[in-house]
Amino acid sequence: MRWFCALLCFLPASLLAEWRILDQQPSEPGEGVPFRVKVTDGAATANLILIVFHPNTFGIRVVSNNEWRYPSVADAAGSTDAVAGVNGGYFQADGTPVGLLISDDRTIHKLDTVKLLSGVFYVRDGKPGLIRSSRFARIKNVTQAIQCGPFLLEDGRAVTGLNNQRSAPRTFVFTAGNSVWGFGICRSVTLAEMGQILAVPDLLGRASVVSALNLDGGSSTQFWARSGDEVTSSSTLAVVANYLLLVHRAK
């Protein structure tokens, strides 16, 4: 027992403490508008901006940035009258997607077997989904899709084995159940910390995140949202090859 207690003294505080909510603005997320959450593990704090939506009100479009025509997610959102947007998946220096990319029913790049690209966010019959890449082949009639990774959260639990060394800006897409979806940004945490943060109970007010997939981060991290006359955006460090955009459903 003495040996065990002594060992605890040398463990990083982040491994001994759990993340908890310090503040939520507003207290419950509004649909399609920025929801800000501040969390702490006792040693550090992290700030998230989340966009929550219901698929019967909003839809997701995957937009390919062909010929680099959109310098930022704000430009891409403006061209489609979107209310919010975030950067998409990984890509080569020439803009070629890394992993599956489907935009408006058009397959731009095929599914990849690289281990990092562990999941696919997709839209079928107007309904979003998150699935392991190894199981995606059984999904048919997909109109929008981005393959990315790693998974941060599954079944409400942070995925184990995620990198806990490199802190960077992070973007991600998530679900709190079939009727509640969203995406968000956090600056700056490790992948392991991101998974732990998203697993915090009641992170979405009275709801909790069930599953979450990491998007391209670091210098590719972009976020933009418009609520009335107010615009929320992150600084754009690089032009990226694809975006996820939130758009109103046609009535």
Residue 14 has pLDDT above 60, yes or no: no
Interval 103-126 mean pLDDT: 96
Interval 133-142 mean pLDDT: 96
Interval 180-192 mean pLDDT: 96
**Neighbouring-strand partners of residue 227:** 230
Identify the helix (H) or strand (E) that includes residue 85: strand 84-87
Residue 181 has pLDDT above 90, yes or no: yes
pLDDT tens-digit profile of 193-240? 999 999 999 999 999 999 999 999 999 999 999 998 899 999 888 999
Residue 11 has pLDDT above 60, yes or no: no
Q: Two tokens at 149?
A: 């990774």
Mean predicted lDDT score pLDDT of the chain: 92
Question: What is this structure's pTM?
Answer: 0.92
Which residue shows structure tokens 């006359």? 229
User: How many Å apart are CA 180 and CA 178, to the nearest integer?
Assistant: 6
pLDDT at 251: 64
pLDDT tens-digit profile of 71-114? 999 999 999 999 999 999 999 999 999 999 999 999 999 999 99
Residue 3 has pLDDT above 90, yes or no: no
pLDDT tens-digit profile of 48-58? 999 999 999 99
Closest residue by Cα to residue 32 from 7, 3, 65, 57? 57
pLDDT tens-digit profile of 145-155? 999 999 999 99
Residue 5 binned pLDDT confidence (cut-offs 50, 70, 90): very low
User: How many Å apart are CA 202 and CA 195, to the nearest integer?
Assistant: 15
The 3-state secondary structure of the chain reads CHHHHHHHHHCCHHHHCCCEEEEEECCCCCECCEEEEEEECCCCEEEEEEEEECCCCEEEEEEECHHHCCCCHHHHHHHHCCCEEEECCCECCCCCECCCEEECCEEEECCCCCCCCCEEEEEECCEEEEEEHHHHHHCCCEEEEEEECCEEEECCEECCCCCCCCCEEEEEEEECCCCCEEEEEEEEECHHHHHHHHCCCCCECCECCCEEEECCCHHHCCEEEEECCEEEECCCCCCCCEEEEEEECCC
